[in-house]
Structure 1
Amino acid sequence: MGRRAKFLTLTLSTGEMLVMHLGMTGRFTVGGSQLGEFHHETGTDARHDHVVFHLSNGATVTYNDPRRFGFMELWPTETFQTYPRLMRMGPEPLSNGFSAAYLDEALQGRKTPIKAALLDQSIIAGLGNIYVCEALWRSGISPKRMASSVPGQRAARLAPAINGVIAEAIDAGGSSISDFASTSGELGYFQHSFAVYDREGQACRKCGGPIKRLVQSGRSSFYCSTCQR
């Protein structure tokens, strides 16, 4: 099994790759062949079970997705390098291909807000709304700032901020706001470290001013108008 950004890949004996994306609310749950074999009860609603894998050891893996934004797709293994959804993806934040120099070049001439640019998977693969908001706050950059004005000192601050947020979130087991859980069933706790995300009206951890919220391209952006310019 492999991963590229937010996509999971599974090599099948049929000569195909199964490509999976969990969307907003998708999750896999494992059921044991014997009662009590797996200690965690996920509490998922069986009405939203869409796919069940039956394993040779008697276990089952069930894909559950209430909002149905996720998907599964088969692609021939021998031509997987041409799989369209992955071909134009940028480097991942913690990969060797991502750096301040890369970000500086990638944002040159971009006529969109920096928030939208960072969510563009062709620029950086795998970044989501939560971690973009947090990284922009750490680097002191407003989500409304044009991406083309970020190269230079701002990009030099932003790249390590992105790396730091992602690394800390991984160490914390992710962010469990509504339904996220790890493969062991444990909840993440990075949400307790949020500086701006989902904190509208609360005090900024740097200046004490109120955290503001605005909607950009249908997504909520949380920021401090004093600390982020």
Structure 2
Amino acid sequence: MPELPEVETIVRGLRNHLIGFTINSIDLQRKDLRFPIPKSLNKSLNGKKIIDIVRRGKYIIINNEDKQTILLHLGMTGRIKIRPINTKKVKHDHIIIKLNSNQEIVFNDSRRFGMVDYIDKIDYRNHKWIKFLGPEPLGSLFSDNYITTYLSKSKSPIKNVLLNQKFVAGIGNIYACEALYLAGVSPNRIANSISRNRSKKLALAIKQVLNKAIELGGCSIKDYVQASGEIGYFQQELNVYGKYGKKCTLCICNSSIKKIKQSGRSTFFCSKKQT
């Protein structure tokens, strides 16, 4: 699933192709993805100029001049593509937004776990998918005090807490594993046992990993590509994710990377470096 760095990279790549341009039509190739696609999407947004595109957690938010919003989540395998208008469709092209720039923005999703919704003249921050999200990990609200206070009340393993979007928005399995490794914190450690000092180190590690991943265009392990079609390159910087059995790179423990299951997801870590 695309995580914060991948979605941020896509949003940045779309800005020059969307902002200031008008939607001529929206071609829906099916009625639903994970949920039904709003029937009013095409009729309501045609002829409207796009004025902004932002990210919140793993969501893409496209706003127009009429205070209407397209809310999009890529799901497991979703891709956004930019191409010349009326390009031949390929399999799994589900939503095609045609612009007055002679380009079209295409949402392609092979597994159809993506989500799209239309919001009319209501602040998107109050939408049911958005309103319960925690702070942005690269924002000022994700502070030392916030982290320490939240963790002190949790009896869950810290890896599970990092994946809880109510705690922090946008972090997924890859970046949780990598941040915990850099911070030297075991994924099994119970959250309320983490000291304030270690919480600060973890916060710094999260920001470091995410910023580096954004700089490199995200992580292309399976389906993800940037809106331009280019792959991301952060997979070349991974220390533990997907490295089961390989030597730990950042310490002299002579140990190998371990793999366990937590809440149905694979966790990769070094049992010597991370305590």
Same fold (TM over 0.5): yes
Tell me the CA shift for residue 208 of structure 1.
3.0
CA distance in 1, matches of 2:136, 2:65: 28
Confirm or deny that 1:143 pairs with 2:195.
no
* TM-score, normalised via structure 1 length: 0.90
What residue ranges of structure 2 are gaps of 5+ in the alignment? 1-52
1:59 matched to which residue of 2? 103
Q: C-alpha displacement at 1:13, in angstroms?
A: 5.3
Q: Could you say what secondary structure the match of 1:63 adopts? A: strand
Cα distance in 2 between the residues matched to 1:84 and 1:106: 22
Q: How does 1:7-86 map to 2 (within 5 A)?
A: 7-12=59-64, 15-33=67-85, 46-86=90-130
RMSD of Structure 2 on Structure 1 (CA): 1.8
Residues 89 and 125 in structure 1, CA contact (< 8 A), matched pair in contact too: yes
Deviations 1:179-201 (A, max 9, x none): 22222222111111111000000
**3-state secondary structure, aligned to 2:154:** coil
Segments of 4+ moved more than 6 angstroms: none
Query: Which position in structure 1 is the counterpart of 2:255?
Result: 209
Secondary structure, counterpart of 1:47 in structure 2: coil
* Structure 1 partner of 2:214: 170
| 1:88-167 correspondence runs (5 A) | 88-167=132-211
- Confirm whether residue 225 of structure 1 aligns to residue 271 of structure 2: yes
Q: What residue ranges of structure 1 are gaps of 5+ in the alignment?
A: 36-44
The number of residue pairs the alignment matches comes to 220
Q: Percent identity, aligned pairs only?
A: 40
The alpha carbon displacement at 1:46 in A equals 2.0
Give the residue type in structure 2 aligned to 1:226: K
Does 1 or 2 have the higher relative contact order (CA < 8 Å, sep 6+)? 2
TM-score where L is the length of structure 2: 0.76
* Aligned AA (1:113): P
- Give the superposition deviation at 1:15: 4.6
Letter in 1 for 2:263: S
1:174-221 Cα deviation digits (max 9, x unpaired): 111112222222211111111100000000011231101111111110
Compared with structure 1, are the counterparts of its residues 20 and 34 closer, same or farther at alpha carbon in structure 2 (3 Å cutoff)? closer
Give, in angstroms, the shift of residue 14 of structure 1: 5.8
Q: Distance in 1 between matches of 2:235 and 2:83?
A: 28
Matched-pair contact (CA < 8 Å) for 1:16–1:77: yes
Whole-angstrom CA distance in 2 between matches of 1:184 and 1:83? 29
